[in-house]
């Protein structure tokens, strides 16, 4: 398997392969592997995608059927918390009886953010059932282009 990146830890170099790149990103964002459904409870956690560009990180959550008013995003120190609570009631009248169906949905996901985030410029948008949170990197955390240094 090809090496994606070399990580220096306590003076030693570690090869980071494709198989453990996901684990590296999980550790970087403080993620733990969570089940997305819990049997016999009706509880479901939204799936998340985390991607990185040279200037930003993006956290995308699939939460279709929600209204943006139902979604809460909180930042406390370096912990980003995304939660939502919705309540839906339906009623259907038929001949001699009424059937009512209740629906409650709630979730809470937390992410520990790296120190390289510019907390004052975090933005979020909700469109077509996907919540996208842009986490801009601080200038000093952005990769610098390679350059040649002249010897005097």
- Model confidence over 113-136: pLDDT tens digits? 998 999 999 999 999 999 999 999
Average pLDDT over residues 82-110: 73
Q: Which of 110, 27, 113 is nearest to 77 (CA)?
A: 113
- Which of the pair, 53 or 89, is modelled with greater confidence? 53
- Model confidence over 40-83: pLDDT tens digits? 444 578 999 999 999 999 999 999 888 899 999 999 989 999 99
Average pLDDT over residues 21-38: 54
Q: Measured between alpha carbons, how far is residue 94 from residues 23, 100, 131 in Å?
A: 53, 11, 38
For every residue of 30-79, DSSP letters joined together read T-----SEETTTTEEPPPEEEEE-SSEEEEEEE-TT--GGGEEEEEETTE
Instruction: Give me the domains of the chain, ranges plus CATH numbers.
Output: 1-33 (no CATH), 36-141 (2.60.40.790)
pTM given for the model: 0.64
């Amino acid at each position: 398997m090809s090496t994606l990146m070399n990580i220096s830890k306590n003076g030693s170099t570690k090869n980071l392969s494709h198989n453990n790149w996901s684990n590296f990103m999980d550790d970087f964002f403080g993620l733990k592997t969570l089940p997305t459904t819990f049997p016999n409870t009706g509880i479901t956690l939204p799936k998340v995608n985390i991607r990185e560009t040279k200037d930003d990180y993006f956290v995308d959550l699939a939460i279709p059927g929600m209204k943006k008013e139902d979604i809460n995003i909180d930042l406390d120190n370096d912990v980003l918390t995304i939660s939502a609570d919705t309540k839906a009631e339906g009623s259907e009248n038929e001949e001699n009886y009424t059937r009512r169906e209740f629906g409650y949905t709630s979730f809470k996901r937390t992410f520990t953010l790296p120190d390289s985030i510019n907390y004052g410029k975090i933005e979020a948008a909700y469109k077509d059932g996907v919540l996208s949170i842009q986490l801009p990197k601080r200038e000093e955390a952005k990769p610098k282009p390679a350059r040649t240094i002249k010897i005097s």
